[in-house]
Amino acid sequence: HIGSQHALFGSRCNGNFCSHNKVVTNCKNTVQGFKRFHGRAFSDPYVQAAKSSLVFDLAQMPTGTTGIKVMYMEEEKVFSIEQVTAMLLTKLKETAEAALKKPVADCVISVPSFFTDAERRSVMDAAQIAGLNCLRLMNDTTAVALAYGIYKQDLPAPEEKPRTVVFVDVGHAGYQVSVCAFNKGKLKVRLFLHILSMVLVLNRHSMLIFKLIKITKALNKITKNCANIKIKTVRLKKEDIYAVEIMGGASRTPAIKDRISKFFGKELSTTLNADEAVARGCALQVSSRAEWHMSHAVLHCSDCEVFPKNHAAPFSKVLTFYRREPFSLEAYYNNPKELPYSDPTIGQFTIQKVVPQPSGESSKVKVKVRVNVHGVFSVSSASLVEVVKSAEGEEPMEMDTPVKEDENKMQVDQEVQKAQGDDQKEHADKKSDTEDMETSTEDNKQEEKKNEQPPQAKKAKVKTKTVDLPIENSLNWQLAGEALNLFVENEGKMIMQDKLEKERNDAKNYVEEYVYEMRDKLHGVLENFVSEADRDSFSLKLEDTENWLYEEGEDQQKQVYIDKLVELKKLGEPIQNRYTEAEERPKALDELGRQIQQYTKVVEAYKAKDELYDHLDELEMMKVDKQMNEAMTWMNNKMNLQSKQSLSQDPVVKAQEIQAKTKELYSACNHIVTKPKPKVEPPKEETAAEQNGPVNGQEGSEAQTGNPEKGQAAPETTEAKLPEMDIN
């Protein structure tokens, strides 16, 4: 969700999004509220009117669009609105990647519901500059509705009357309202409008008609009546409204909440997060399929309205023309007065390489127009239907479609598209198959006529094939391909510069942090581990470094700070190491003493002929006794030497050496003292079954144990009973 973020620029800063206090300290280089300038020309009256209220400077880009003038890397730069938004998206991308611990490539971006085609294209360009794949541009109000309804378990069934909820978004730069109908698994946006702009326009219009002066009561009455008219356009009664949800930063203002509550005659609901509802809806959009609507667009061909107001989107339509030569289509919004935008033109689309039929008649041209999931209008494809004869010189067959049509005639075929529009090609293939089937049917009829007519009356077979036509787009304020690639390249350079600047600042901060940390510790936990002379010398060095940071070292290269930190650590690390050794050495000595005591007890028990250890080898136990005595002598010697050392001097023995001695003693002795006693198996007693032989035809245990003397008795008994059996 692109909110009212602040972008700070400067001599060494690239799009650093920071706190609001930078607006005061560095107002000229702090950009805010730039979302409203997307897709607008610098000469747009809206832009010119907004200039007076801005703390930063606007400038005209070479293409005529609006740019922002700031100081960057000690140079005056003019960045386009798309570039500034791309910087914001790059920062959001970094934040998401840091939280998710993985790369982020896809996103859903919300825009105000009143954004036009040019503004939406501008936001899409910004996403491309930032290296993001925008899955969908989503209206703010639709995102809020999705966040509200996706977890509701008590919604009406699809065949029942929907639950109507009004969402009021009172934000920083816009005041939007949407009326949404909910069923289980279904969301329909019945109406959305930009209330603030709508009220001002209708008030001005009503005052001109009725010649009213600006009296407060009359103005408030007109405002209320205008809002009521909008509610009636969706044929909705106030009694049909289930709830009124309010969100946005300004929704916390009691006066605003009171006026909205009185208008709808209901208590306002605040179950949604006032600040994060739109962002949550965008996140949920990845797995949702909520439909939304657009303002009506017209394709200029005898002023035919192709997408009426509140038409569902995404949606495609196929237009049929009859032309002999290339032609252009102009798309624009039908009612400019309803737009918060000065130019209703969407763009011009030229269908190229259109040629007449061999007979000189107009060719049939099919043009597919589409409003995609982002709410952006485009001419997605164009094809020419070409008549192909099977043989030359034969009389052409009469076709069902008249070729001598008025060139301005247009046929519109509708095809409902799914959310991603992946079935466009499939639909085109099906339509082509249908045409082939119709042609084949005509061929069969002609074959029947052939049999009845004389040979000279035979007509040639006629088939049709489609030829894709190139389309040249001329969109209103759309970034050209070269400019877009240049912005992408510049964004990459600025990201790298920003990375280098961050590393430089981090290196500087490490020096500053080390100075403050060591200065405090020298008179704290490290006070006893450094001599007075060394402490005074090191403190002076730290003070000089601090002064250097705020003077000559204010703006140095990264390596300079790294070298300065290494220089300080040469003095500080020995002190820190002495403190660490003093903390870890007693623990290591205790562990070594415990091992020595354990093996001492085992040796004494062995010498006392304890039955637990009487199985151990005498030579090995002598080895254990020797290792134990050597370790004890080494430990006592080191402890005596260390006790004579001052804490401000380097230790005689380090904790790491003691741990190594403990490990050596364990490796030499543990496998000896833990050797288990050998197991003694008791003698086996003969059971009654073994003496009497096998029972019920089962083999005796003698056969399994392999005793040859006992194993002969059974064969003799068997031989006596069965003399006919041969015994090997």
User: What are phi and psi for residue 625, nearest 5 degrees?
Assistant: -60, -40
CA distance 29 to 72: 9
Q: 539: part of which helix (H) or strand (E)?
A: helix 532-549
CA distance 45 to 54: 15
| Structure-token pair, residue 480 | 């050209």
| Helical ranges in 234-362 per DSSP H | 254-264, 277-284
Each residue's pLDDT tens digit, 368-403: 998 888 888 888 899 988 877 665 544 444 444 444
Whole-number average pLDDT of the chain:
77
Q: What is the CATH number of domain 140-287?
A: 3.30.420.40
Lowest-confidence pick of 284-293, 472-481, 709-718 = 709-718
Q: What's the mean pLDDT in 421-439?
A: 43
Most trustworthy range by pLDDT among 96-105, 191-200, 503-512, 685-694: 503-512
CA distance 608 to 613: 9
Q: What's the mean pLDDT in 191-216?
A: 50
Residues 6 or more apart whose CB falls under 8 angstroms from that of 50 comprise 36, 37
pLDDT over 60 at 186, yes or no: yes
Contact 47, 66 (CB under 8 A): yes
Three-state SS letters, 98-157:
HHHCCCCCEEEEEECCCCCHHHHHHHHHHHHHCCCEEEEEEEHHHHHHHHHHCCCCCCCC
| Helical ranges in 608-712 per DSSP H | 618-643, 655-673, 688-692, 701-705, 708-711
CA distance 485 to 93: 20
Q: Is 488 helix (H, G, I), strand (E, B) or coil?
A: helix
Contact 63, 142 (CB under 8 A): no
Q: Is 572 helix (H, G, I), strand (E, B) or coil?
A: helix
Q: What's the mean pLDDT in 271-292?
A: 74
Fill in the amino acid letter for 659. Q
Q: What is the CATH number of domain 292-442+459-475?
A: 2.60.34.10
pLDDT for residue 577? 93
Fill in the amino acid letter for 232. K
Does 6-104 carry CATH code 3.30.30.30?
yes
Fill in the amino acid letter for 200. L
How many other C-beta atoms can be found within 10 angstroms of the C-beta atom of residue 200? 12
pLDDT for residue 693? 53
pLDDT for residue 291? 41
Tell the CATH topology of 497-677: Substrate Binding Domain Of Dnak; Chain:A; Domain 2 (1.20.1270)
pTM of this structure:
0.60
CA distance 669 to 625: 9
| pLDDT grade for 433, boundaries at 50, 70 and 90 | very low
CA distance 217 to 212: 11
Fill in the amino acid letter for 472. E
Query: Residue 364 burial (CB < 10 Å; 0-12/13-18/19+)?
Result: buried
* Four-CA torsion 593, 598, 602, 608, nearest 10 degrees: 70
Residues 6 or more apart whose CB falls under 8 angstroms from that of 41 comprise 47, 64, 65, 66, 342, 343, 477
- Locate the domains of the chain by residue range: 6-104, 140-287, 292-442+459-475, 497-677
Contact 306, 378 (CB under 8 A): no
Each residue's pLDDT tens digit, 562-575: 999 999 999 999 99
pLDDT over 60 at 552, yes or no: yes
pLDDT over 60 at 714, yes or no: no
Each residue's pLDDT tens digit, 313-326: 888 888 888 888 88
CA distance 636 to 641: 9
Integer CA distances (angstroms), 690 to 414, 687, 705, 714, in order: 95, 5, 11, 11
Residue owning tokens 């300065």: 564
pLDDT for residue 49? 85
Query: Residue 632 burial (CB < 10 Å; 0-12/13-18/19+)?
Result: middle
Most trustworthy range by pLDDT among 8-17, 223-232, 540-549: 540-549
Each residue's pLDDT tens digit, 1-45: 555 455 555 544 444 555 455 666 677 788 888 888 998 899 988
Lowest-confidence pick of 139-153, 164-178, 537-551, 714-728 = 714-728
As a whole-number percent, the residues of the chain with pLDDT over 70 amount to 71
How many other C-beta atoms can be found within 10 angstroms of the C-beta atom of residue 117? 29
Of the CA atoms within 13 Å of residue 361, those in its CB half-sphere come to 13
Lowest-confidence pick of 19-33, 107-121, 374-388, 462-476 = 19-33
pLDDT over 50 at 174, yes or no: yes
- State the DSSP code for 603: H
Integer CA distances (angstroms), 145 to 73, 114, 280, 515, 518, in order: 43, 16, 10, 53, 55
